[in-house]
Amino acid sequence: MAAEQLRAPGSKPGENMLWGGRFTGGLDPLMVSYNESIYFDRAFHTQDIRGSIAWARANHKAGILSIAEFKAIESGLNKVEEEWVAGTFKIIPGVDEDIHTANERRLGEIIGKDIGGKLHTGRSRNEQVATDMRLWLRDELRKIETYLVDFLKVMAARAEQEIDILVPGYTHLQRAQPVRWSHWMLSYGMAFAQDLDRLREVIVRVNQSPLGAGALAGNCFGVDREAMAKELGFDGLLWNSMGAVSSRDFVVEAMQWGSMLMTHVSRWAEDLIIYSTGEFAFVRLADAYSTGSSLMPQKKNPDSLELLRGKSGRAFGQMAGLMMTVKGIPSTYNKDLQESVEPMLDHVKTVSDSIQIATGVLSTMSVNPQKMLASLDPFMLATDLADYLVKKGVPFRETHHISGQCVAFSEKTGVSMDKMSYSDFQKIDSRFEEDILKSFNYEHSVEQHSAIGGTAKARVLEQVEILKKMLE
């Protein structure tokens, strides 16, 4: 398509572009599509309309617009928003370069260019896109906050309900010590709760207004930036106009946060994938979050968890890619920054969807306490033997060695440690007394870990209550 065909009928080269007055030749058609962002930044249509109304109001108060002109612009912009919501807004390729251009073009068609053309007085798209992005990201992060709270509420509820289930605890993916199933859940619960704290801090930094910063030097019509910020629900202002239009730190930080969250989601998913295998069979996913095999009819695959694990790489890649984009650009605004929009949109959707899927998995998943209990091994109580002797006054380094001898005796004789006789223990060390046989009780073992943060029942329930408070 020729560049001339990309212009509205009867228009001059560049006439319909907000920047077009200085240009007399048409753009390469590929450059038009390469440059335009309307097909992804239209996601900001609501934020762009809200910001434009706040801008028009500020210009009215500054004496740039009459009350009649402001009312006409406000009414026209609301009609434009109605078209977006109804899905009837018609994008004109090659003309509607971005959401700002599209909205202003349509506003002029509705109320006339004489009045509509005054909307952009004193404003730059540099500040406009930064405002739209911050408003959109703030609103989406607040939604994500509610999803994460819901996820943690389910986790806290299950931890409380399933407090009596015991399960092997692992290090190096080898059975280590018995713990409560709830303790395992809360190990992730506390990590996700810290993610929630971090998210709330990120939202505060995102929610700062750049509107009124101009292209880079500020506004020369005396608009009230604080009034606009208040109208749009911002917590405060960005105080340097150059930094306000050029910084994408708020996007990078949000994506860094999302990458951290997805790291935790991925590890949580990995544990559950392992626990759902036939070899473990600790948990069973609901059909709603599983798929079958196209060849093997017996298969039930944990696709939801595998996708969660896989999408963590996607989230991290988007964050790392954006950091590489912004790391070397000069001040202030450069078109490279357009590359912050698409990764942000996809990253936010990925994280948002992932939390909701994780909540669905957790709330519908069934557990198999019998399989968990059957997986406990008397060797997992070897540390309890060492602790038993410590309480008799034996130095731990010595008790660790003695306990190892008990393990070696069991392996050599083929007699399970919990089936060894009192005399067997006496032969290994005379300081063992008859009550050593009481140590081979898994419930007793977990209850011994009663310090704060441990797996004893009272301490796990304490963690549940702490988690609940963190959600408030």
pLDDT confidence bin for 150, thresholds 50/70/90: very high
Active site includes 264? no
Tell me which of 190 and 16 has the higher pLDDT. Answer: 190
Distance between CA 287 and CA 319 in Å, rounded?
33
Distance between CA 371 and CA 109 in Å, rounded?
69
Q: How much is the pLDDT for 11?
A: 45
Determine which one of 66, 293, 416, 421 is catalytic: 293
pLDDT (tens digit per residue) in 447-464:
999 999 999 999 999 999
pLDDT (tens digit per residue) in 332-354:
999 999 999 999 999 999 999 99
Has residue 331 got a pLDDT over 80?
yes
pLDDT (tens digit per residue) in 37-49:
999 999 999 999 9
Nearest to 182 by CA among 199, 167, 202: 167
pLDDT confidence bin for 7, thresholds 50/70/90: very low
Q: Which residues pair with 167 in a beta bridge?
A: 179
Active site includes 172? yes
Q: How much is the pLDDT for 3?
A: 35
Q: How much is the pLDDT for 8?
A: 43
Q: How much is the pLDDT for 291?
A: 83
Q: How much is the pLDDT for 6?
A: 41
- For residues 14 and 24, is the Cβ–Cβ distance under 8 A? yes
Distance between CA 16 and CA 13 in Å, rounded?
8
The identity of residue 350, as a single letter, is: T
Tell me which of 32 and 293 has the higher pLDDT. Answer: 32
Question: Residue 376 is encoded by which pair of tokens?
Answer: 């406990």
pLDDT confidence bin for 34, thresholds 50/70/90: confident
**DSSP code, position 9:** T
pLDDT confidence bin for 33, thresholds 50/70/90: confident
- Residues in the chain, how many? 472
Q: How much is the pLDDT for 22?
A: 56
Distance between CA 169 and CA 454 in Å, rounded?
12
417 Cβ partners below 8 Å, 6+ apart? 378, 379, 381, 382, 385, 406, 407, 410, 440
Q: How much is the pLDDT for 32?
A: 85
- For residues 92 and 29, is the Cβ–Cβ distance under 8 A? no
Q: Enumerate helices (H) and strands (E) in the chain, giving the number of each.
A: 19, 6
Alpha helices in 327-450 (DSSP H): 341-364, 369-374, 382-390, 396-413, 422-428, 442-448
Second-level CATH architecture of 30-121: Orthogonal Bundle (1.10)
pLDDT confidence bin for 25, thresholds 50/70/90: low
End-to-end CA distance of the chain: 57
Residue carrying structure tokens 């335009």: 36
What percent of the chain lies above the pLDDT cut of 90? 89
Angle (CA) 248-78-17 rounded to 5° is 55
Q: How much is the pLDDT for 341?
A: 97
Has residue 211 got a pLDDT over 80?
yes
pLDDT confidence bin for 24, thresholds 50/70/90: low
pLDDT confidence bin for 76, thresholds 50/70/90: very high
Question: Residue 285 is encoded by which pair of tokens?
Answer: 């996913």
Helix (H) or strand (E) holding 236: strand 236-237
Instruction: Domain 378-440: give its CATH superfamily.
Output: Fumarase/aspartase (C-terminal domain) (1.10.40.30)
Q: Which residues pair with 168 in a beta bridge?
A: 178
- For residues 283 and 367, is the Cβ–Cβ distance under 8 A? yes
Q: Rounded mean pLDDT of the chain?
A: 93
Fold of 126-374: Fumarase C; Chain A, domain 2 (1.20.200)
Q: Which residues pair with 231 in a beta bridge?
A: none
Q: How much is the pLDDT for 39?
A: 95
Determine which one of 172, 294, 366, 430 is catalytic: 172
Locate the domains of the chain by residue range: 30-121, 126-374, 378-440
Per CATH, 30-121 and 126-374 having the same topology is answered: no
Average pLDDT over residues 277-303: 87
Question: Residue 431 is encoded by which pair of tokens?
Answer: 């300081």
pLDDT confidence bin for 16, thresholds 50/70/90: low
pLDDT (tens digit per residue) in 353-375:
999 999 999 999 999 999 999 99
Average pLDDT over residues 88-110: 96
Has residue 265 got a pLDDT over 80?
yes
The model's pTM is 0.91
Question: Residue 22 is encoded by which pair of tokens?
Answer: 């200085």
Has residue 5 got a pLDDT over 60?
no
